[in-house]
């Protein structure tokens, strides 16, 4: 069995937007994204809002069809596969616990829908037993079984969403900012629960978030996205200890520091200007219009991910990473 569960190669997703009655233009949501995810690991994806994180997760699951590229899951080409065979193996936890649950369905119907669609139970009693068991796993009381989503808090709703994803025994779960809409104390509970379930069931996560502290805590490796591109990728500890790309450094420098003395001494990297349009992305490096270190080569040539040192596993897409200028 290969150590690699998921491999994404040169993935692109362009959304056509009608500019006029006779003319359409493309929005470059994903542009040449490549990475792999190993079995049992958590691969984190971070970046600002609008960088393509959610589109990436949904395109991998083919909720959204890619424009081009390749997605290989457990050795199979997902773009040629019948996805009905993979729906139970690949699941998603959505970002918004309020919008992702049908208000007309009870908790038992929401959680049990996957069992019904995949024909995983042969009787009502077996169905109920499985639903109650997964409710125990995610910390939901059995009293919630016949109640409706509007009766619950955000944290409880997200637990329902997690139970819905896990009840079909998946191998791979896309966690699309699963705690961003929750209070900090509830975030910690959900993250710890996801880690416990991962260890017990040997799950593989693609964990999407914009909160760098959350991603550092749960991820083994992290990919940093900007404007539809992966600009840096390495181990979690390495990324925080030794960020290479100016955009990564900008993100990390924006993390609040509780100690006022350390905060005063911290070097902040301030990005210039506004995020460019995905309809008219800049030529060359996608970050060059905001990068304080940008040179002529950055405006002319697209940098591709390359290792900082052979075998290091630390990849950065920046022309200046070895120049000593950043």
Q: Convert the pLDDT of each residue in 118-176 to its tens digit.
A: 999 999 999 999 999 999 999 999 999 999 999 999 999 999 999 999 999 999 999 99
How confident is residue 264, by pLDDT bands cut at 50, 70 and 90?
low
Residue 90 confidence (pLDDT): 97
213, pLDDT greater than 90: no
How confident is residue 93, by pLDDT bands cut at 50, 70 and 90?
very high
Mean pLDDT of the chain: 91
Q: Higher model confidence: residue 271 or residue 67?
A: 67
226, pLDDT greater than 80: yes
Q: How far apart are CA 180 and CA 97, in angstroms?
A: 10
Give how far the C-alpha of residue 16 lies from the chain's centroid of Cα atoms, to the nearest Å: 23
311, pLDDT greater than 70: yes
Residue 21 confidence (pLDDT): 72
Q: Are 292 and 272 in contact (CB under 8 A)?
A: yes
13, pLDDT greater than 80: yes
How confident is residue 201, by pLDDT bands cut at 50, 70 and 90?
very high
What are the boundaries of each domain within the chain?
4-89+170-235
Residue 263 confidence (pLDDT): 60
Q: Are 299 and 286 in contact (CB under 8 A)?
A: no
Residue 310 confidence (pLDDT): 83
Q: How far apart are CA 259 and CA 264, in angstroms?
A: 9
Per DSSP, the three-state class of 160 is helix
Compute the average pLDDT of residues 27-52.
94
Residue 274 confidence (pLDDT): 81
Residue 265 confidence (pLDDT): 64
Q: Higher model confidence: residue 108 or residue 2?
A: 108
Compute the average pLDDT of residues 81-102.
92
CATH of span 4-89+170-235 = 3.40.50.300
Give how far the C-alpha of residue 38 lies from the chain's centroid of Cα atoms, to the nearest Å: 15
How confident is residue 266, by pLDDT bands cut at 50, 70 and 90?
low
Residue 185 confidence (pLDDT): 84
Residue-level length of the chain: 326
How confident is residue 186, by pLDDT bands cut at 50, 70 and 90?
confident
Q: Which two tokens mark 270?
A: 């301030």
Compute the average pLDDT of residues 90-118.
94
Q: Which residues contact 220 (CB under 8 A, 6 or more apart)?
A: 38, 41, 42, 43, 235, 236
Q: Would you give the end-to-end CA distance of the chain in angstroms?
A: 42
Residue 219 confidence (pLDDT): 95
């Amino acid at each position: 069995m290969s150590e690699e569960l998921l491999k994404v190669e040169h993935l692109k997703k362009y959304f056509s937007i009608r500019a006029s009655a006779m003319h359409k233009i493309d929005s470059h949501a994903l542009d040449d994204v490549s990475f792999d995810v190993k079995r049992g690991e958590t691969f984190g994806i971070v970046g600002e809002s609008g960088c393509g994180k959610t589109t990436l997760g949904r395109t991998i699951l083919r909720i959204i069809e890619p424009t081009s590229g390749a997605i290989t899951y457990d050795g199979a080409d997902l773009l040629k596969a019948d996805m009905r065979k993979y729906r139970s193996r690949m699941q998603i936890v959505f970002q918004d616990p309020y919008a992702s649950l049908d208000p007309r369905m009870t908790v038992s119907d929401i959680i049990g829908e996957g069992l019904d669609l995949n024909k995983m139970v042969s009787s009502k009693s077996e169905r109920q037993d499985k639903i109650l068991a997964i409710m125990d796993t995610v910390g939901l009381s059995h009293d919630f079984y016949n109640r409706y989503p509007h009766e619950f808090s955000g944290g409880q709703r997200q637990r329902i969403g997690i139970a819905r994803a896990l009840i079909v025994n998946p191998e791979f779960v896309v966690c699309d900012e699963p705690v961003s809409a929750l209070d900090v104390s509830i975030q910690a509970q959900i993250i710890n629960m996801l880690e416990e379930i991962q260890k017990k069931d040997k799950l593989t996560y693609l964990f999407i978030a914009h909160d760098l502290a959350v991603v550092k805590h749960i991820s083994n490796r992290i990919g940093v996205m900007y404007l539809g591109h992966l600009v840096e990728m390495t181990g979690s500890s390495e990324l925080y200890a030794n960020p290479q790309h100016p955009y990564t450094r900008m993100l990390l420098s924006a993390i609040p520091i509780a100690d006022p003395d350390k905060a005063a001494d911290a070097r902040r990297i301030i990005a210039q200007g506004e995020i460019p349009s995905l309809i008219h992305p800049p030529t060359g490096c996608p970050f060059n219009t905001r990068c304080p270190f940008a040179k002529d080569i950055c405006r002319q040539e697209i940098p591709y991910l390359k290792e900082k040192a052979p075998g290091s596993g630390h990849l950065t897409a920046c022309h200046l990473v070895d120049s000593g200028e950043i």
